[in-house]
Structure 1
């Protein structure tokens, strides 16, 4: 029996750095599981679009597909866009079985990668002292998703025995600049920002710009390509592949 194909699905961006990063991450996943068919795909703005990838895989004989959303939080894209993609694909191909897994979420492994990226940024800026952290995330109109990011920020801060808050690049306050200024108003002067974005693009660039303007001492690069993230993708896939196994009545 052929294992289900794995589609690593990102949102997409007009910034070519974003799709290049997602493609490279997908290649890292494929290198760790050469027995699997692994393909990158995007909801919009970048090629290849997920519907086209699903159609191509089906035409090649894959009738089972596991979609792993390369998303940090579970909000509109995970709850509305991806189910709509699956419904449309199964309407086109009635014998096709597609399952979407949970999003990547704020796994401990992702915080490990975040720490790695921040250490590199601190070394580049020659920063030796910190007294606060800001976790920069995309933000959502879904208040629950934003609350999850605030809890993640507190968890991250506890790792380092530092106060930490989440800040958002869109849809919800505070922005990174506001979060940095709030810490500075509280007397803190050595504030670093960790970018909880998977790939570079307009939103992480803007978040970094606002943070530095407000006085942050360092801002990390997005998480990017890392074996730990690839392992999380494969862990999500493993659960999704099991969910595709029919249960006898």
Structure 2
């Protein structure tokens, strides 16, 4: 694989008016730090689909690219929407797309979240939520691990998913526990996080974080470079 193979970020997409710009800023930071041309694409709610971005890369002379999903859990979008988007984009553009691992919920994400938190008595991680069995459990494990790194309890609350979800559940989790840091498990601004902020703004002892934004760029670079190394190794073996 060529040394300057481009990278494409594949985000879920959002109706939030600031979401596309935020993902583009992440892409710009990945490009700045990796030296690779990097573009943003979205599964939904944006004209910058993976197919459109792949076409642009093809017109620029690129024959392949690495796609890094801006996704956290191994749920429906990663299992179904992402493979479908890759197939469609490859067929329409002629550009071969190598799918990297998603940003995910590993130790580097736990460290990133912990590093964004100041002094607090409790960490609460707020995520969209998933109907896929086990997906929300992985977010809860991430919250616990980030809390462990901070030396405080770490809890997760989901925005959607029935009983025990949403802003009311978040408010309840933050009540009467001293200082609480509420961190959004969102890459970019979202309507669900905006609702949570409105509910929690002004509540004593609550520190509200921001979507991950450009801070996630090192994790994206790591996923892309891992995939490039894998493909390079496979091609070397084929030649031997």
Q: So what's the TM-score if we normalise by structure 1?
A: 0.82
Give yes or no for contact 1:23–1:40 (8 Å, CA) kept in 2: yes
SS in 2 for 1:136: strand
Q: So what's the TM-score if we normalise by structure 2?
A: 0.85
Give yes or no for contact 2:197–2:208 (8 Å, CA) kept in 1: yes
5+ unaligned residues in a row in structure 1: which ranges?
120-127
Cα distance, 1:51 vs structure 2 = 0.8
Choose from 173, 194, 198 the match for 1:205: 194
**Counterpart for residue 63 of structure 1:** 63
Choose from 214, 230, 237 the match for 2:217: 230
Counting matched residue pairs gives 234
Alpha-carbon spacing, 1:183–1:11, altered in 2? closer, same or farther (3 Å) = closer
Cα distance, 1:213 vs structure 2 = 7.9
For 1:100-145, what per-residue CA distance to the aligned partner results, in whole angstroms no more than 9, with x for missing partners? 11111124443344344433xxxxxxxx6x4332111121111221
Give yes or no for contact 1:180–1:191 (8 Å, CA) kept in 2: no
Per mean C-alpha deviation after superposition, the further-off stretch among 108-117 and 150-159 is 108-117
Give yes or no for contact 1:118–1:219 (8 Å, CA) kept in 2: no
Cα distance, 1:211 vs structure 2 = 4.0
**Counterpart for residue 23 of structure 1:** 24
**Counterpart for residue 178 of structure 1:** 169
**Counterpart for residue 241 of structure 1:** 228
**Counterpart for residue 145 of structure 1:** 135
Alpha-carbon spacing, 1:248–1:22, altered in 2? closer, same or farther (3 Å) = same
Give yes or no for contact 2:157–2:170 (8 Å, CA) kept in 1: yes
Cα distance, 1:67 vs structure 2 = 0.3
